[in-house]
Amino acid sequence: MRHRVCAALVEKQQVLMVELHTSSRAFWTLPGGGVERNETKEEAIVREVLEETHLHVTVERQLYEISIRQGTETCFLVQRVTNSSVPRLGIDPELPLDQQELRAVRFRPLKDMQDDPQIARLLNLL
């Protein structure tokens, strides 16, 4: 069982998202990933956001936790650390460089993402 975490970084009515291209589909999602052994969920989300977006964040609070096939997905509301850089595309260190699934990172308007299940859940909690 491997638990997952995701981050909701909301600024000026926009949410930070990453674009993934897997073998079966391409989609936008909140930054996040798996929780490592001996790592808290809060530590995991700070690490995942840094790996995928080059942003330093702090956790404000947990937004939700749902059951998924592999365990749970916990979403945290995060805030960019003061003087943190602009988002830049990072990597997934678990994948070889020639097999990266991350394709883009950017802030997307919340109003344009209302049909996305993660964002719909997020909007109900903000």
Please give the domain boundaries of the chain with CATH numbers for all domains: 4-125 (3.90.79.10)
Give the residue with greater pLDDT, 31 vs 23. 31
In the predicted structure, residue 67 carries a pLDDT above the cut 90 = no
Grouping H, G, I as helix, E, B as strand and the rest as coil, residue 111 is helix
What's the mean pLDDT in 27-37? Answer: 92
From the list 116, 79, 92, the residue with the least C-alpha distance to 34 is: 92
Per-residue pLDDT, 76: 97
User: What average pLDDT score do residues 76-86 get?
Assistant: 88
Classified as helix, coil or strand, 101 is coil
